[in-house]
Amino acid sequence: MTPTTPDLTTATADALADDLALALRLADAADAVSMARFDAADLDVQLKADASHVTEADLATERAIRDLLAAERPNDGVLGEEYGSTGDARRQWIIDPIDGTANYLKGIPMWATLIALSIDGVPRVGVVSQPAIGRRWWAATDRGAWTNVPGETTPRRITVSSIDDLAQSSISFQSIRQWDQVGRGDQLLALSRRVWRDRGYGDAWPYMLLAEGRLEFVAEFGVKEYDLAAHVPIVTEAGGRFTDIDGVETLSTRSSLATNGALHATYLELLSHDGGNA
């Protein structure tokens, strides 16, 4: 899958408006299910085969999304974290019902439902909903990136920052352990010494902070398509860039690098094997 975005015809762009409207309704349905069990004392939590956690809410939220898609887009494919891939992948909805399950099961409000529509391998529509903090972000190709703001009735269009000085930039990473596991812990430490501010905000939220112009860099490892696809249209429509850690426009290598665009090449150089060891 590649985030590269060729020009759209008017008919395709109009269709995306309908798809985005549906994606927002999918998020409404997901929020209702996930919030009903958030911070429940009797929440059922199980371990999956890969030793990651799954809750009853993860499963129920994905089912709610799939049920609505079956009614509204029966010919589209679906790729979800909990129930795998079904249907034709040319038009494929990519879902992470609860991104940040570890936070969800601990009652920490920093988790999100991620919903994307990929067409011919390109993420065209993205919605990120964080109902526990009352926030949502969305985008479709050539339609800009948007967010709701508590207390405001009109959505706000968002753009990445224009910072082009590494020393003034702010970065977010998933965890030190994650970088150590792929042999890049020293690179992260070196990068942290070159920037203004470094924080591990975690999961979906930092990508949205990037799209809002509040960060300049977000990178992760061990991520899959359903962890990333919804972020791509939002970051790119906000004016940023989204690649893997080596600068390739793909979601299949289990790494990500999202930036404000102005500093993308600089970050790539610092994270290259030569640049990171310089």
Residues 136 and 203 in one domain: no
Contact of 147 with 158, CB cutoff 8 Å: yes
Look up residue 105 and give its two tokens: 């099961």
Confidence of residue 212 (pLDDT cuts 50, 70, 90): very high
User: In terms of DSSP bridges, do strands 241-243 and 255-259 run parallel, antiparallel, or are they unpaired?
Assistant: antiparallel
Taking residue 11's Cβ as centre, other Cβ atoms within 10 Å add up to 8
b/e sequence 110-144, b meaning 16+ C-beta within 10 Å: bbbbbbbbbbeebbbbbbbbbbbeebbbbbbbebb
Q: What is the CATH number of the domain that holds 204?
A: 3.40.190.80
Is there a domain that residue 177 lies in?
yes
Q: What percent of the chain has pLDDT over 90?
A: 88
In this predicted structure, the answer to whether residue 235 has a pLDDT above a threshold of 60 is yes
Is there a domain that residue 154 lies in?
no
In this predicted structure, the answer to whether residue 3 has a pLDDT above a threshold of 60 is no
> Domain residues for 99?
10-140
Is there a domain that residue 147 lies in?
no
Taking residue 242's Cβ as centre, other Cβ atoms within 10 Å add up to 24
b/e sequence 227-241, b meaning 16+ C-beta within 10 Å: bbbbbbbbbbbbbbb
Residue among 135, 139, 92, 94 nearest 112 (CA): 135
Residues 15 and 134 in one domain: yes
Is there a domain that residue 161 lies in?
no
The reported pTM is: 0.93
Is there a domain that residue 4 lies in?
no
- Name the domain count of the chain: 2
Helices 10-37 and 56-72 pack at an angle, to 10 degrees, of 150
Question: pLDDT tens digits, residue range 138-160?
Answer: 999 999 999 998 888 999 999 99
